Amino acid sequence: MSEHRIAMVGTPCEIMAASKLQHYTDSPIYVKLGLFCMENFSYKYFENLLEEYDLKMDDIEKFQIDKGFVFLLLKTRETVKIPLSIAKRIIRKNCNICVELTSETSDISIGSIGSDDGWSTLIIRTPKGEEIVNGALEQRFIEAKELSDSQFGLLNKIAESKINKNLEEIEKREFLARPVLYQREKSDDSIAKEISESSFLDLKSNVIDIGACVLCGACEYACPDNLITIDDTKPIMKGQCSEDCHACFAVCPRTFIPEDLRNDNSKAIGEFKKVLSVKSLKHSQGQDGSIVTTLLDYLLTNDIVSDALIVDKEDYLAWKPYAKITSDIDEVIKSGGTKYSVCPVFKPLKNISEEVD
């Protein structure tokens, strides 16, 4: 059993992978802070797009998506604003079959949609999430107000439009015999049977090779024999699997989803206890009004978690994302604004599990 109690920050697909890890393994993830996510970008395609603006990755200080635009804050302090309609060409193909805007299996979901500038929308989903938000309010880490009916309506409308658009794409792919396993409704017994008959080759043909992989790294983390590695574009397996192992197929967020984790596509923002608009009283830097940073600060300061699993940017490769585990709030603050970038977020957990074993 791991001694680490980790707060993880992730996009909806990464949070689903974390939920599957909790479901199928002895996971050290204790709190899931999920981000709102419309779509995400390929690092490689982004480099190509920047060339059209006479920019290089190294020119960019910070990157943020808000209200239909990609904002690039340059090291010169200038801001370049690229409409999402242009940036769309660099969207990862797997995002076109994603039917979650708001990280429905998180403890708390966080995003800007529905709130005024400088405020963030929080969707509290679990008793643990409620306890955390109440504690952060009591200790004056955050302040909160209600969303108006129109703000709540806007959030639901945008979530609904993402679901409906991508359900159409799912239908097309299924028609072309490119399965979208995570949207197939199966009983837990039938999923257990599928898993017992599947291994990495099934993951490869049903997820990786058909543009469904979200590059989360859960398969790499779960592999007991360390056979999987992830390069910039996809997981690769080398070696001979143990006969009775199915771990990578089980934990992948794009294979079958157990009944209690499955999205109900008729509920645009999923199940929740409360929705609030909140503002940080501690930090001013970072995406989503610094709320992610502030909640991590609250969790670390109060020893509710031992570490945070976050995404930061490489110093030597402009803002190329990489995941790391830290208990240092200064590290968390430094990473603000990089969380929408795709990278194998579970990679650092491997070192922890090896440490414990």
Residue ranges that bind ligand SF4, judged by CB under 6 A: 11-13, 17, 37, 39-40, 94-95, 98, 100, 199-200, 203, 207-208, 213-219, 222-223, 225, 227-228, 235, 237, 241-242, 245-248, 252-254
- Residue reference for tokens 């501690």: 282
Distance CA 135, CA 125 (A): 15
* Torsion 27-28-33-35 (CA) sign: negative
Least spacing, CB of residue 58 vs ligand SF4, in Å: 24
Distance CA 337, CA 225 (A): 35
E strand map for 78-210: 79-83, 108-111, 120-124, 142-146
- How many of the other CB atoms lie within 10 Å of CB of 261? 15
Beta bridge mates, 321:
313
Query: In sequence order, what DSSP letters do the residues of 114-162 get, joined into one string?
Result: TS-TT-EEEEE-SHHHHHHHHHHHHTTSEEEEEPPHHHHHHHHHHHHHH
CB nearer to ligand SF4: pick between 235 and 300 = 235
Residue type present at position 308: A
- Residue reference for tokens 């949207």: 183
Least spacing, CB of residue 307 vs ligand SF4, in Å: 21
Residue type present at position 32: K
Residue type present at position 147: L
Closest C-alpha among 103, 113, 136 to residue 34: 103
Least spacing, CB of residue 101 vs ligand SF4, in Å: 8
Structure tokens at 177: 């015999």
Least spacing, CB of residue 40 vs ligand SF4, in Å: 3
CB nearer to ligand SF4: pick between 235 and 289 = 235
Determine contact, residues 256/185, Cβ cutoff 8 Å: no
Least spacing, CB of residue 21 vs ligand SF4, in Å: 10
3-class state of residue 41 by DSSP: strand
Least spacing, CB of residue 322 vs ligand SF4, in Å: 15
CB nearer to ligand SF4: pick between 136 and 159 = 159
Kindly report the backbone phi and psi dihedral angles of residue 19, in degrees, each rounded to the nearest multiple of 5, phi listed first. -65, -40
Determine contact, residues 155/147, Cβ cutoff 8 Å: yes
CB nearer to ligand SF4: pick between 113 and 136 = 113
CB nearer to ligand SF4: pick between 247 and 308 = 247
CB nearer to ligand SF4: pick between 159 and 223 = 223
What's the length of the chain?
357
Distances (CA, A) of 249 to 95, 179, 322: 20, 14, 23
Least spacing, CB of residue 203 vs ligand SF4, in Å: 5
Least spacing, CB of residue 226 vs ligand SF4, in Å: 8
CB nearer to ligand SF4: pick between 40 and 156 = 40
Closest C-alpha among 272, 269, 291 to residue 282: 291
Least spacing, CB of residue 354 vs ligand SF4, in Å: 15
CB nearer to ligand SF4: pick between 94 and 293 = 94
Least spacing, CB of residue 74 vs ligand SF4, in Å: 24
Distance CA 130, CA 138 (A): 12
CB nearer to ligand SF4: pick between 83 and 118 = 83
CB nearer to ligand SF4: pick between 254 and 283 = 254
